[in-house]
C-alpha cells in the first residue's frame, strides 16, 4: 500500500487508510508527481521537469551565464522570460567580478614587465675595476713606499 506524503495526514486518517489492510501489506511512503505540473528545463535541453531544471542542469545554465559574461560563449536562446531573467541575474553578477579580475591582472602584468625591464638593463661600470690590497703601514723613506707613490702618480696622469 502506498501512502502519499505530499499532503498532511492526521493519525485518524492514517489509521482509517490502513484499517482492514492485510497484515502482510507493505506500506510505502512517497510523493505523487503530477503530470500536469511538468515544465521544460530552462537550460534549453528540452527535458521535462517538475521545477525549473532537470537535476544538475541549473549549474550548467549558471556556468554558461558566467562564460557569456567573460566573453567565452554566446548568448543562448531562452525557453521563457523567467529563464532569461534568471540567466541575466547570474550574468550581471559576474561582470564586475570579471572586470576587477582583469584589472588586477593588468596591474600585476605591468609590474612584472617593469621588474623584468629593470632586471634586463646592463650594469654600467665607470673606470677600470681595481683590486684593493690590505693596508700595510710603510715607512715614508722605504723603497716600497716610494715605488707605490710613483705608480699612483703615473696612473693618475
Q: Three-state SS across 20-85?
A: CCCCCCCCEEECCCCHHHCEECCCCCCCEECCCCCCCHHHHHHHHHHHHHCCCCCCCCCCCHHHHH
Q: What is the pTM of this model?
A: 0.50
127 or 119: which leads in pLDDT = 119
Q: How many other CB atoms are there within 10 angstroms of residue 140's CB atom?
A: 7
Cell 529563464 belongs to 83
Confidence of residue 85 (pLDDT cuts 50, 70, 90): very high
Confidence of residue 98 (pLDDT cuts 50, 70, 90): very high
Phi then psi for 106, rounded to 5 degrees? -65, -40
**5 pLDDT higher than 80:** no
What's residue 31's pLDDT? 64
What is the residue extent of each domain of the chain? Answer: 1-32, 35-106
The pLDDT of residue 92 is: 93
What pLDDT score was predicted for residue 136? 62
Q: What's residue 25's pLDDT?
A: 78
Q: How confident is the model at residue 103 (pLDDT cuts 50, 70, 90)?
A: very high
Amino acid at each position: 500500500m502506498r501512502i502519499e506524503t505530499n499532503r498532511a495526514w492526521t493519525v485518524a486518517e492514517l489509521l482509517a487508510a490502513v484499517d482492514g489492510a492485510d497484515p502482510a501489506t507493505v506500506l510505502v511512503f512517497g510523493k505523487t508527481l503530477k503530470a500536469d505540473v511538468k515544465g521544460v528545463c530552462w537550460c534549453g535541453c528540452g527535458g521535462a521537469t517538475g521545477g525549473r531544471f532537470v537535476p544538475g542542469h541549473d549549474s550548467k545554465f549558471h556556468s554558461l551565464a558566467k562564460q557569456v559574461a567573460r566573453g567565452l560563449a554566446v548568448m543562448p536562446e531562452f525557453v521563457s522570460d523567467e529563464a532569461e531573467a534568471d540567466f541575466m541575474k547570474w550574468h550581471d553578477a559576474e561582470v564586475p567580478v570579471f572586470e576587477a579580475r582583469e584589472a588586477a591582472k593588468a596591474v600585476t602584468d605591468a609590474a612584472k614587465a617593469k621588474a623584468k625591464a629593470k632586471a634586463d638593463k646592463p650594469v654600467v661600470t665607470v673606470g677600470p675595476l681595481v683590486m684593493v690590497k690590505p693596508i700595510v703601514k710603510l715607512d715614508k723613506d722605504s723603497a716600497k713606499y716610494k715605488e707605490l707613490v710613483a705608480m699612483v702618480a703615473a696612473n693618475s696622469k
